[in-house]
């Protein structure tokens, strides 16, 4: 790998994704759905883009915002928690804002939460005054405590935050939670979320001034198409004219339908893109409201 840096002019786009971890597979899958394919280098750190001039750099997630700030990478897939933490760190140390969230990607969801020992009766943030809070997210915790007008001691740890109360290093913690099983296993309970996080596409604050601008716009258009139809289905059915209103009321998540008259019949044929889950229960409700010949089809691609 040779991360030759020439931020001034480049005609290939370079995207950083997590090498291995929670975000690496969904990030690759999303890029592949957007039509990208790669040839992997032997060291498995660099993937040369074959279908488009878009290369991948496989790195640790924590390095991604810095790589964008330094111009080594153009875009990156990273947790909002990591992006905001490093943005906060830069702001605290007077460094310029160099990256921002371009898109939320709908995977890698988790919360950054305050968790207290199970025996605590939680009465609100004021209860944290004077307490020691262990975290790997000191910048976000500091900003939140400031907004709550609470003074507490932040104990910065690099990992295993959940055992800090048991080790006597802290009274409470501020950490990422998804299922909550890790907290429960450590006799802690989440009481307050300070951030809702998910994987995001991060990019520079300033727009690209060369061929990368067009490549980034193309990629965004394709990714938006993929994200838009991720949970969507094409629903086709027929219904008598006087049942259409009732049927459409059962489809609040549907796009305005395409409607066709049927020869020699009072019924209409409709097709519409539905963004929510199309369960059996919903189909049965639609049938009761008058819909017939219901068909649910997967949507593979969409270009608005
Ligand atoms: O090696 P590298 O530095 O790249 O990876 P990493 O170990 O730092 O990252 P990784 O793969 O663990 O997480 C990458 C990103 O996934 C995070 O930055 C978050 O944006 C997101 N994510 C989503 C999570 C979780 N869910 C999550 N549950 N990151 C961490 N956790 C932790 C949580 O803190 C707890 O300790 O997983 C544990 C299990 O969670 P529970 O609540 O389900 O028990
Ligand atoms: Zn990491």
Task: Return the CATH number at 188.
Answer: 3.40.190.10
Q: In this structure, are 215 and 255 located in the same domain?
A: no
258 Cα to the center of ligand 1, angstroms: 43
More confident residue, 295 or 10: 295
- What is the C-alpha separation between 109 and 115, in angstroms, rounded? 18
83 Cα to the center of ligand 2, angstroms: 11
Judged against a pLDDT cut of 80, whether residue 90 lies above it is answered with: yes
Assigned domain for 33 exists: yes
Q: In this structure, are 51 and 125 located in the same domain?
A: no
Give the SS3 label for residue 191: strand
For a mutational test of ligand 1's pocket, the pick from 67, 79, 82, 176, i.e. the residue with the most ligand atoms closer than 8 A to its C-beta, is: 176
Sign, CA torsion 167/172/178/184:
positive
Assigned domain for 253 exists: yes
Question: String of b and e for 144-167 (b: at least 16 CB within 10 Å)?
Answer: bbeebebebebbebeeebbbbbee
Domain count, the chain: 3
Q: In this structure, are 20 and 100 located in the same domain?
A: yes
Assigned domain for 4 exists: no
Confidence tier at 108 by pLDDT (50, 70, 90): very high
Q: Which residue has the tokens 């997210």?
A: 137
Average pLDDT score over residue span 258-274: 93
Judged against a pLDDT cut of 70, whether residue 1 lies above it is answered with: no
Is 138 within 8 Å of 154 (Cβ atoms)? yes
Ligand 1: residues with CB < 6 A are 18, 21-23, 60-62, 79, 81-82, 108, 110, 175-182, 197
Assigned domain for 249 exists: yes
62 CB-near residues (< 8 Å, 6+ apart): 82, 86
Q: In this structure, are 136 and 271 located in the same domain?
A: no
Say which ligand is closest to the CA of 82. 1
- pLDDT tens sequence across 190-200: 999 999 999 99
Given 141, 174, 197, the domain boundary residue is 197
Judged against a pLDDT cut of 70, whether residue 26 lies above it is answered with: yes
Q: In this structure, are 29 and 160 located in the same domain?
A: no
* Domain boundaries, position 277: 233-298
Q: In this structure, are 171 and 185 located in the same domain?
A: yes
Query: From the alpha carbon of 61, which atom of ligand 1 is closest?
Result: 4
Q: In this structure, are 103 and 115 located in the same domain?
A: no
Assigned domain for 154 exists: yes
Q: In this structure, are 211 and 99 located in the same domain?
A: yes
Q: In this structure, are 90 and 216 located in the same domain?
A: yes
Assigned domain for 30 exists: yes
Assigned domain for 119 exists: yes
The first and second tokens of residue 122, run together, are 């939680």
Q: In this structure, are 150 and 278 located in the same domain?
A: no
Assigned domain for 190 exists: yes
Q: In this structure, are 216 and 85 located in the same domain?
A: yes
Q: In this structure, are 102 and 54 located in the same domain?
A: yes
């Amino acid at each position: 790998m040779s991360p030759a840096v020439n931020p001034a002019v480049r005609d290939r786009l370079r995207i950083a994704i997590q090498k291995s971890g929670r975000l690496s597979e969904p990030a690759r899958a999303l890029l592949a759905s957007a039509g990208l394919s790669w040839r992997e280098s032997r060291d498995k750190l660099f993937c040369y883009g074959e279908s488009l001039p878009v290369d991948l750099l496989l790195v640790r997630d924590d390095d991604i915002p810095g790589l964008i700030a330094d111009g080594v990478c153009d875009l990156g897939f990273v947790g909002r928690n990591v992006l905001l933490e490093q943005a906060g760190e830069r702001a605290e140390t007077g460094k310029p804002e160099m990256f921002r969230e371009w898109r939320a990607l709908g995977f890698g969801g988790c919360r950054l939460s305050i968790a207290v020992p199970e025996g605590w009766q939680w009465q609100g943030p004021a209860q944290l005054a004077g307490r020691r809070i262990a975290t790997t997210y000191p910048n976000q915790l500091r900003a939140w405590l400031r907004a709550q007008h609470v003074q507490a001691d932040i104990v910065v740890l690099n990992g295993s935050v959940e055992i800090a109360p048991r080790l006597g290093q802290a009274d409470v913690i501020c950490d990422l939670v998804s299922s909550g099983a890790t907290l429960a296993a450590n006799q802690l309970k989440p009481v307050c979320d300070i951030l809702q996080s998910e994987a995001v596409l991060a990019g520079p604050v300033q727009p690209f001034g060369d061929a990368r601008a067009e490549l980034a716009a193309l990629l965004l258009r394709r990714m938006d198409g993929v994200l838009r139809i991720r949970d969507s289905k094409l629903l086709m059915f027929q219904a008598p004219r006087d049942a259409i209103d009732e049927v459409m009321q059962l489809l609040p998540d549907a796009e305005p339908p395409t409607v066709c008259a049927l020869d020699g019949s009072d019924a209409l044929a409709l097709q519409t893109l539905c963004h929510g889950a199309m369960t059996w229960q919903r189909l049965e409700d639609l049938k009761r409201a008058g819909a017939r010949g219901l068909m649910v089809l997967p949507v593979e691609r969409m270009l608005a």
